[in-house]
Amino acid sequence: MKTLGLIGGTSWHATVEYYSQINQKVGDVIGKQANPELIIYSINIELMREQNKEKIQAKYLEVSKKLQEAGAEGIIICANTPHMIYDYVQPKIDIPILHIGIATGRAAQDAGLKTLGLLGNKPTMTGKFIPSVLENDFGMKVIIPEGEDLDQSHHYVSKELTQGTFSDEAKAFYLNQIKELKRRGADGIILGCTELPLLLKDVEADLPMLATTDLHIEMAVNFILDGTS
């Protein structure tokens, strides 16, 4: 098995989900008497909230190098937004970073989806680090909420979900957003915040939902078991 490094903390709630699910899913294959070797570095989420790109890049490079030196053979970032550092960090280390956009694109491709609505915080929705992968590598179109809805989504993610609050108001908001994105042409929805699958767990929506957390975890399990990324 490969040793995987996890960069977590943004938020720690999502990091717990990654750690738990990776162990459980690997255990389903190798047996419950064993577990994979994982190295976790949990970053203070306030770093992301500062929105200082250079500072964020420097920290993730520092942490990635530490995980590599500690014996990690690959790295998974336990959140969507920090993938903004991928193009900066990946060329500077010798082990692969498992990209959440690739995991999402493969699943969307398998499902025959072409136009995806992206939900998450503002940096994730307006940034290029997920849409560019889907557009360039998979030929898909990505659309996002507009106007006040964009700001409201960011509010729910940053002020509620990443702090462990999962309200009925937030749930209703995102279900309405799915309906609106469908009206605008989406045939699938990316839950581009690691806490959104927790909020919408067991909820029926108007479109198929791609939970980036779950897809990313499957990617991690495959890497641990057979080294594929």
pLDDT tens readout for residues 177-206: 999 999 999 999 999 988 898 899 888 888
* Sign of the alpha-carbon torsion through 177, 101, 143, 183: negative
Q: What gap in Å lies between CA 184 and CA 168, rounded to an integer?
A: 25
Helices and strands per DSSP (H, E), number in the chain:
11, 8
Q: What gap in Å lies between CA 101 and CA 96, rounded to an integer?
A: 14
Q: What gap in Å lies between CA 1 and CA 158, rounded to an integer?
A: 36
DSSP state of 40: E
pLDDT confidence of residue 14: 85
- Second-level CATH architecture of 101-211: 3-Layer(aba) Sandwich (3.40)
CB 209 within 8 A of CB 139: no
pLDDT confidence of residue 193: 87
Angle at 160 between CA 122 and CA 175, to 5 degrees: 70
Q: List the chain domain ranges.
A: 4-100+214-226, 101-211
Helices (H), 52-121: 53-69, 86-89, 100-110
pLDDT confidence of residue 15: 93
Q: What gap in Å lies between CA 125 and CA 53, rounded to an integer?
A: 16
Q: What CATH class has 4-100+214-226? A: alpha beta
Which token pair is 190?
């990316």
pLDDT confidence of residue 189: 97
Is the fold of 4-100+214-226 the same as that of 101-211? yes
Low-confidence stretches of the chain (pLDDT beneath 50): none
Helix (H) or strand (E) holding 141: strand 141-143
CB 1 within 8 A of CB 197: no
pLDDT confidence of residue 40: 97
- pTM above the 0.95 mark? no
pLDDT confidence of residue 229: 76
Placement of tokens 């995102």 in the chain: 174
pLDDT confidence of residue 43: 96
CA-to-CA dists, residue 116 to 84, 96, 104, 145, 223, angstroms: 19, 26, 10, 11, 26
- CB half-sphere exposure, 178, CA atoms < 13 A: 22
pLDDT confidence of residue 218: 96
